[in-house]
Amino acid sequence: MASNPAHPYTTNAQSQLAAGDALGALGLTPAFSPLYQQIKGLILQSLQSGEWKPGESIPSEMDLAARFRVSQGTVRKAIDELSAENLVVRRQGKGTFVATHAEQQVQYRFLKLQPDNGDTQSEGPAERTIIDCKRLRASADIARALSLRSGDPVLQVRRVLAYAGVPTILEELWLPGAPFKGLTAERLSNYNGPMYALFETEFGVRMVRADENIRAVNPDSEQAELLNVPITAPLLSVERVAYTYNDTPMELRRGLYRTDTHHYRNALS
């Protein structure tokens, strides 16, 4: 009897061939990796292409299993990894949705500064002040971080984040010019949600992961004035490169964090 390729008891060899066919249809070369990893890659391709937008539901595990001709267990394992990486969100009884930075559990996952008293609820969202937003030509180090060429157009944004009226974070952001055409200080100031949610909803750029380097520094005179601290104050310098799908760098962010009432907290697993 011929086996049904969408059936959960399809042989692993058949499933590997089916996934390989699907990868080939997308112009990709099937890798010698576990089948669920290949299915994860195919789902990532759909996320990257915008087939399913942030906040939208993705097809059920059964539908994806039929689409890729693998078992539901293989699809579930792929989605488990995507969920652990905050790329999708499971909702009991409703399905699986593309994660969005507008969601409470996702929007602050890149901000690791916590109040010393641990009461993030009473502290509330940061008060944001945009210092400036201007278009420049990328210097060599900025171009290198963003995989651009020296002299390519970039956007530089500087802002201060304050909690309970106390300036706490001074940030300088560098963004590639082309994807963020039309971004202005006014748009940044008028948007009430997280900056990454603005990038996602208005510019179609979703940050999915970031690398950070952290060191202890003292501020220069201008930085000390903006943060209302002496130049001898100990600050954390946090340099972050944030990436969208396919490991494409989309932001270089350099932040100075006050540590007199806050600390940097990261959960390791």
Report the distance separating Cα 52 and Cα 88, nearest Å: 11
Domain of residue 157, residue span: 104-264
pLDDT tens by residue, 140-167: 999 999 999 999 999 999 999 998 899 9
113 and 244 assigned to the same domain: yes
Confidence of residue 120 (pLDDT cuts 50, 70, 90): low
Helix (H) or strand (E) holding 244: strand 235-244
259 and 131 assigned to the same domain: yes
**Sheet containing 127-137: order of strands:** 127-137, 153-163, 166-176, 248-258, 235-244, 209-217
Confidence of residue 4 (pLDDT cuts 50, 70, 90): very low
Beta-carbon count within 10 A of 269 CB: 3
143 and 185 assigned to the same domain: yes
pLDDT of 125 > 70? The answer is: yes
pLDDT tens by residue, 180-225: 999 999 999 999 888 898 998 899 898 988 999 999 999 999 999 9
Q: Are 21 and 39 in contact (CB under 8 A)?
A: no
Confirm whether 2 is domain-assigned.
no
139 and 222 assigned to the same domain: yes
CATH classification of the domain holding 65: 1.10.10.10
Copy the structure tokens of residue 110.
């890149």
169 and 199 assigned to the same domain: yes
Report the distance separating Cα 243 and Cα 248, nearest Å: 5
- 122, with CB counted inside 10 A (0-12, 13-18, 19+), is exposed
Domain boundary among 98, 130, 151: 98
Confirm whether 111 is domain-assigned.
yes
pTM listed for this prediction: 0.74
Confirm whether 5 is domain-assigned.
no
